[in-house]
Amino acid sequence: MINHVQERHTTSITTPSDTEIRIERVFDGPRELVWEAFTDPELMAEWLGPHGRTVTFETMDVRPGGSYRYTMPGPDGTEYAFFGEYREVQAPAVLESTFEFSGIECAVSVDRVELEELDGGHTRAVVTSTFASKEDRDGKLSSGMERGMNDGYEKLDAQLARRQGPS
């Protein structure tokens, strides 16, 4: 069970069921800025993925039925594509999409981002990824996703600080 008093800059990863991964993190920034970081391809390309990797968005149409596709090189330089379709968009609170990854066999998941505005200009992001099976969920957990996510969230922290300017 996740403690509802979440420390900023600490990412909590839990498995609430056999088919889910839940990621929770509090960011220093108002919900609207965090929403923009998750829905603007230029902003998202700055923070998404591990340190030292460049993400290139080919498309990002943030609306129900819209799609996204981006590429990122792997450690050996091989280009991998990530893509999906937006299912639910409720600015600035809920963003739900499918997630697929080309290049290696990867299960499709449904990823739901919920942004909650907290006191003091902070935002709690809760990302729930739902898979068809426990094996698919466990495959994602063992894929190295945790490192890429933590690196990305560190870059998002820096981006939010930069966009808000000096305190």
Cα–Cα separations (whole angstroms), residue 134 to 109, 117, 140: 12, 32, 10
Query: What pLDDT is stored for residue 107 in this prediction?
Result: 80
Beta strands in the chain (DSSP E): 12-14, 20-28, 56-60, 67-73, 79-90, 94-101, 109-118, 122-130
Count of other CB atoms within 10 angstroms of residue 62: 17
Average pLDDT over residues 108-128: 96
Choices 3.40.50.2000, 3.40.50.300, 3.40.50.620, 3.30.530.20: CATH for 12-164? 3.30.530.20
Under 8 Å CB-to-CB from 26, ≥6 apart: which residues?
A: 6, 7, 8, 9, 10, 118, 122, 123, 124, 125
Domain range annotation of the chain:
12-164
DSSP, collapsed to helix, strand or coil, labels residue 88 as strand
Decide if pLDDT at 3 tops 80.
Answer: no
Cα 139 from Cα 167, distance rounded (Å): 42
Query: What pLDDT is stored for residue 167 in this prediction?
Result: 60
Query: What pLDDT is stored for residue 2 in this prediction?
Result: 35
Cα 142 from Cα 73, distance rounded (Å): 19
> In whole numbers, what is the pLDDT of the chain averaged over residues?
91
How far does CA 6 lie from the centroid of its chain?
18
pTM of the entire structure? 0.91
Element (H, E) at 157: helix 145-164
Q: State phi, psi for 132 to the nearest 5 degrees.
A: -75, -25
pLDDT in tens, 29-83: 999 999 999 999 999 999 999 999 999 999 999 999 999 999 999 888 889 999 9
